[in-house]
Every structure is written in C-alpha cells, then in structure tokens.
C-alpha cells in the first residue's frame, strides 16, 4: 500500500547527440580581415553636490513624508479601534434583545 510507484514514460527522454558537422575543404575558406571593435566608453558621471539650502529642503521633504505616513497610519489604527468598539456595542445590544425575547417580555 505504501510502496513508492515510479511512473514509466513511454517516450524516450535520453540525451540526443547532434550530428557531426561536415568538414569544409581548405580551398573554399576565404580569409577575412577582422577589425576589433573599440570598447564602449563609460559616460562620465557628475558628482552631486549638496548646498546648505538643498540639504535643508531635502531634510524638510523627508520630515514631511514621515509626518504624512504617520498620520495615515494613526488614522487607520483609529478607524480599526472605532469599528471594534461599535461591533462590541452592537453585540451587547443584540445579546440584551435576545435575552428579552427569550424571557417573553
């Protein structure tokens, strides 16, 4: 029952050896002059220089991004908390209604 079963492939899957190329007679070969292609030259990169004004703008932009992301995360957390409280209140009200219906009031 728990013996492994190896499936048998009906098609052969062995390695196929390519055909041997036919040799070309030496008289048919024409010499060609090969000119080496020049190596591509990498473009010169300019270094970025931060002035005090641009560094201040960069720091202010980073601070603004942090504040916006923080505000979005806090608002999402607040939305989850409000939803949880409202679901808990609905559960309490439904429990009281079901209890009143069972008592026959």
- pLDDT exceeds cutoff 80 at 27: no
Range ranked top by mean pLDDT from 2-6, 26-30, 56-60, 69-73: 69-73
Single pTM value for the model? 0.44
pLDDT at 97: 93
Query: Taking the C-alpha atoms of 84, 87, 92 and 97 in order, what is their torsion angle to the nearest 10 degrees?
Result: 180
- DSSP class of residue 43? P
Q: Decide if pLDDT at 19 tops 70.
A: no
* Residue 21: per-residue pLDDT: 66
Residue with tokens 């270094």: 47
Does pLDDT of 70 surpass 80?
Answer: yes
């Amino acid at each position: 029952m728990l013996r492994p079963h190896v499936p048998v492939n009906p098609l052969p899957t062995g390695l196929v050896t390519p055909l041997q190329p036919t040799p070309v007679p030496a008289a048919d070969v024409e010499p060609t002059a090969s000119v080496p292609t020049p190596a591509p030259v990498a473009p010169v990169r300019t270094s970025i220089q931060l002035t005090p004004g641009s560094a201040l703008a960069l720091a202010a932009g980073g601070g603004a991004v942090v504040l916006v992301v923080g505000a979005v995360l806090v608002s999402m957390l607040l939305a989850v908390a409000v939803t949880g409280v409202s679901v808990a209140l609905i559960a309490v009200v439904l429990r009281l209604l079901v209890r009143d219906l069972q008592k026959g009031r």
